[in-house]
């Protein structure tokens, strides 16, 4: 088993940390979107929340970050136990970039078809990571 300091240097840590940063950013964004309603900060002149239409989308997207990505993290944690496999690194970055794009589409548009296409790419990237794990363990 690799030493702990080797695990921290594994290239798969960076895509995982990038996804954590995305989730943290979404928490900040959600706090800002809720501020007019909860704290009365940033209200319109009529007292309304200028971010009201985005708040449920941000909230839903944040919840999405704890569903399928769970299997991404599990796969990466298993893969950091072995030397770097270049295509697993590519798949992990496809997943993370796809999650960022998915967030933009879900928050800024109502285009469910596009969001579904992007999710499919994320879905296949994680399946590819798990395929790597299974193929190495057989």
pLDDT category at 37 given cuts 50, 70, 90 is confident
Half-sphere exposure of 66 (CA within 13 A, CB side): 8
Q: What pLDDT was estimated at residue 45? A: 80
Contact 131, 50 (CB under 8 A): no
Using the predicted structure, report yes or no on whether residue 7 has a pLDDT greater than 90: no
Q: How many domains does the chain have?
A: 1
Q: Specify the 3-state DSSP secondary structure of 38.
A: helix
Q: What pLDDT was estimated at residue 32? A: 94
What CATH number did the domain enclosing 106 receive? 1.20.120
Contact 43, 36 (CB under 8 A): yes
Instruction: Kindly report, residue by residue over 102-112, the tens digit of the pLDDT.
Output: 999 999 999 99
Give the range of the structural domain holding residue 125, as residue numbers without chain letter: 4-137
Using the predicted structure, report yes or no on whether residue 124 has a pLDDT greater than 90: yes
Q: What pLDDT was estimated at residue 5? A: 60
Contact 89, 126 (CB under 8 A): no
Q: What angle do CA 78, 98, 65 make, to 5 degrees?
A: 65
Using the predicted structure, report yes or no on whether residue 6 has a pLDDT greater than 60: no
Contact 89, 40 (CB under 8 A): no
pTM assigned to the model: 0.88
Question: Using CA atoms, how far apart are residues 8 and 118, in angstroms rounded to an integer?
Answer: 29
Q: What pLDDT was estimated at residue 94? A: 98
Tell me the average pLDDT across 45-61: 91
Percent of the chain with pLDDT over 70: 94
Query: Higher model confidence: residue 94 or residue 84?
Result: 94
Question: Using CA atoms, how far apart are residues 28 and 22, in angstroms rounded to an integer?
Answer: 10
């Amino acid at each position: 088993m690799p030493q702990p300091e080797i695990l921290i240097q594994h290239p798969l840590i960076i895509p995982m940390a990038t996804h954590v940063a995305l989730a943290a950013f979404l928490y900040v964004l959600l706090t800002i979107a809720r501020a007019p309603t909860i704290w009365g900060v940033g209200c319109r002149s009529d007292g309304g929340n200028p971010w009201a239409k985005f708040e449920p989308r941000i909230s839903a997207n944040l919840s999405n970050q704890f569903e399928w990505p769970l299997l991404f993290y599990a796969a990466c944690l298993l893969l950091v136990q072995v030397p770097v496999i270049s295509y697993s690194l590519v798949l992990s970055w496809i997943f993370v970039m796809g999650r960022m794009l998915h967030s933009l589409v879900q928050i800024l548009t109502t285009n469910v078809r596009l969001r579904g296409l992007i999710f499919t790419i994320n879905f296949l990237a994680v399946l590819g990571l798990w395929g790597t794990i299974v193929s190495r363990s057989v």
